[in-house]
C-alpha cells in the first residue's frame, strides 16, 4: 500500500470475479460508538466488499477486578456459592447490553434505548415481574420486525459445527446461524433469565461456568473464540454489514485482558 503526503493510497488486486480493482485498507476501532472497546479491525475492501479482515486488540493494563459481565460465573467456577438469581440478573443485563448495541448498529434507536433501560433496571435490582414486563414487548417487536430480519438475516453465518471447531460456546453456538439468529438467541436467554432473577437457590453445576459469551473456564476464553471466527465471517460481507456482524458476536475484550493478566491464556 503506497502513502502520499502521509495518506494511505489504494492498491489493486483481483476481486472474486478475477477483475483488477482498487484495494483499500480501512481500520475500524478501537473507539467507536456501539463498538467492543479495544477491538481493532483492519479491513481490505474492494468497492464496498470486505476481501480480508484481521483482528487486533488494544492491550490494556491488568484489570483490578474480574470482567464485570462474567464475574458471577467466574466466582462460581472457583467453587463459590452464587445464588442463581444473581447469575441470571447479570446474564440478563449482559444480553440486554449486547442487544442495545445490535439494535443501535442496525439503526433502530428506539429499541436500543428500550434494551438499555431494561439493562439498567436489571442491574438496579428490578424484580422478575418488573423485568419480564419490560423485556416481553421488546422481544415481541424484535422477533416480528420484518425490517430487522431483512437487515440482518444471512449476515455472518456461523454453523454450530464450525463454531464448535473453533471453541465457540454460549449464544453464538446455540444460535447455529446468522446475525439474526444470534439476536434471537439473546432474546430467548433474556426472557428466561429475567424470569429467574428472584431465585435464591445456589447456581447448579451445569450453569456455573457459562457466562454471557460462553464458557468462562477452558483453553480458549469465550470472547477469544468469537474473535477467532470473526475474520471468516466478515470476508465477502458488504462494508455496511460488517458492524452488524461484529455487534451480533459482541466479544468482551475485558475477558481477554483478565485471562492475560492471570497468565492463563494469551489471545
pLDDT at 44: 94
Query: pLDDT, tens digit, for every residue of 59-100?
Result: 777 677 889 999 999 999 888 999 999 999 999 999 999 999
DSSP 51-87: EEEEEEE---PPPSS--TTTHHHHHHHTT---BHHHH
**C-alpha to C-alpha distance for 262 and 174, rounded to whole angstroms:** 28
Supply the pTM of this predicted model: 0.88
pLDDT at 205: 74
Average pLDDT over residues 212-222: 88
Average pLDDT, the chain: 89
156: helix, strand or coil: coil
pLDDT at 56: 94
**Four-point Cα dihedral 243, 244, 249, 252, nearest 10:** 40
Residue 46, pLDDT above cutoff 70? yes
Query: pLDDT, tens digit, for every residue of 225-238?
Result: 999 999 999 999 99
Q: Which residues partner with 127 through β-bridges?
A: none
Amino acid at each position: 500500500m503506497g502513502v502520499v503526503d502521509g495518506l494511505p493510497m489504494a492498491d489493486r488486486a483481483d476481486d472474486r470475479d478475477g477483475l483488477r480493482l482498487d484495494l483499500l485498507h480501512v481500520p475500524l476501532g478501537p473507539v467507536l460508538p456501539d463498538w467492543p472497546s479495544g477491538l481493532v479491525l483492519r479491513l481490505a475492501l474492494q468497492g464496498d466488499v470486505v476481501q480480508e479482515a484481521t483482528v487486533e486488540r488494544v492491550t490494556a493494563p491488568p484489570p483490578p477486578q474480574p470482567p464485570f459481565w462474567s464475574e458471577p460465573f467466574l466466582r462460581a467456577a472457583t467453587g463459590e456459592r452464587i445464588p442463581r438469581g444473581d447469575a441470571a440478573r447479570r446474564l440478563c443485563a449482559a444480553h440486554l447490553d449486547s442487544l442495545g448495541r445490535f439494535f443501535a448498529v442496525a439503526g433502530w434507536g428506539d429499541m436500543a434505548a428500550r434494551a438499555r433501560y431494561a439493562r439498567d433496571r436489571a442491574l438496579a435490582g428490578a424484580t422478575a415481574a418488573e423485568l419480564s414486563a419490560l423485556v416481553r414487548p421488546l422481544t415481541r417487536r424484535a422477533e416480528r420486525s420484518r425490517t430487522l430480519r431483512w437487515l440482518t438475516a444471512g449476515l455472518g453465518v456461523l454453523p454450530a459445527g464450525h463454531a464448535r471447531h473453533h471453541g465457540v460456546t454460549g449464544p453464538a453456538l446455540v444460535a447455529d446461524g446468522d446475525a439474526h439468529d444470534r439476536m434471537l438467541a439473546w432474546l430467548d436467554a433474556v426472557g428466561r433469565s429475567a424470569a429467574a432473577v428472584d431465585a435464591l437457590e445456589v447456581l447448579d453445576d451445569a450453569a456455573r461456568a457459562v457466562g454471557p459469551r460462553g464458557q468462562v473456564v477452558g483453553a480458549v476464553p469465550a470472547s477469544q473464540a468469537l474473535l477467532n471466527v470473526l475474520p471468516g465471517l466478515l470476508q465477502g460481507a458488504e462494508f455496511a454489514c460488517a458492524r452488524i456482524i461484529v455487534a451480533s458476536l459482541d466479544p468482551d475484550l475485558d475477558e481477554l485482558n483478565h485471562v492475560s493478566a492471570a497468565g492463563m491464556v494469551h489471545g
